Amino acid sequence: MKLLVTGGAGYIGSVTVEALLSEGHEVTVYDNLENGYREAVVQDAGIVVGDLSDADLLRKSLGGMDAVIHFAAHSKVPESVTMPAKYFRNNLVNSIVLLNAMREEEVPKIVFSSTAAVYGVPSACPIMEDSPTEPINPYGESKLFFEGILEDYHRAYGIGFVSVRYFNAAGATDRLGEDHRPETHLIPIILKAALSGSAEVKIYGTDYNTPDGTCVRDYIHVSDLAAAHILALEPGCQGIFNLGNGTGYSVRQVIDAAREITGMDIKTVESSRRPGDPPILVASSERISRALGWKPRYPELGTIIETAWNWMRAHPEGYGK
Q: Which of 180, 197, 172 is nearest to 263 (CA)?
A: 197
Binding of ligand UFG by 167 (CB under 6 A)? yes
Helix count and strand count (H, E) for the chain: 11, 14
Length of the chain: 321
Binding of ligand UFG by 309 (CB under 6 A)? no
Q: Exactly one of 86, 89, 202, 315 binds ligand UFG (CB under 6 A); which one?
A: 202
Annotation marks residue 139 as catalytic: yes
Residue whose CB is less far from ligand UFG, 52 or 215: 215
Q: Exactly one of 29, 99, 176, 215 binds ligand UFG (CB under 6 A); which one?
A: 215
Identify the three-state secondary structure at position 282. coil
Helices 94-105 + 55-62 axis angle, to 10: 40
Binding-site string for ligand UFG from residue 116 to residue 145, where x marks contact by CB under 6 A and - marks none: xx----------------------------
Q: Exactly one of 217, 221, 229, 287 binds ligand UFG (CB under 6 A); which one?
A: 217
Identify the three-state secondary structure at position 275. coil
Residue whose CB is less far from ligand UFG, 36 or 160: 36
Sign of CA dihedral 107, 165, 240, 303: positive
Whether 8 and 35 have beta carbons less than 8 Å apart is answered as no
Nearest approach in angstroms of CB 305 to ligand UFG is 12
Binding of ligand UFG by 77 (CB under 6 A)? yes
Q: Which of 233, 232, 250, 12 is nearest to 115 (CA)?
A: 12
Strand partners, 31: 49
Identify the three-state secondary structure at position 184. coil
Measured from the Cβ of residue 267, the count of other Cβ atoms closer than 10 Å reads: 14
Q: Exactly one of 79, 129, 277, 306 binds ligand UFG (CB under 6 A); which one?
A: 277
Binding-site string for ligand UFG from residue 9 to residue 48, where x marks contact by CB under 6 A and - marks none: ----------------------------------------
Binding-site string for ligand UFG from residue 230 to residue 269, where x marks contact by CB under 6 A and - marks none: ---------------------x------------------
Nearest approach in angstroms of CB 71 to ligand UFG is 11
Q: How far apart are CA 217 and CA 302, in angstroms?
A: 14
Identify the three-state secondary structure at position 66. coil
Nearest approach in angstroms of CB 56 to ligand UFG is 30
Q: Which of 12, 10, 5, 52 is nearest to 26 (CA)?
A: 5
Residue whose CB is less far from ligand UFG, 37 or 160: 37
Binding residues for ligand UFG, per CB under 6 A?
A: 75, 77, 115-117, 167-168, 184-186, 189, 201-204, 215, 217, 251, 274, 277, 281
**Which residues have a catalytic role annotated?**
139
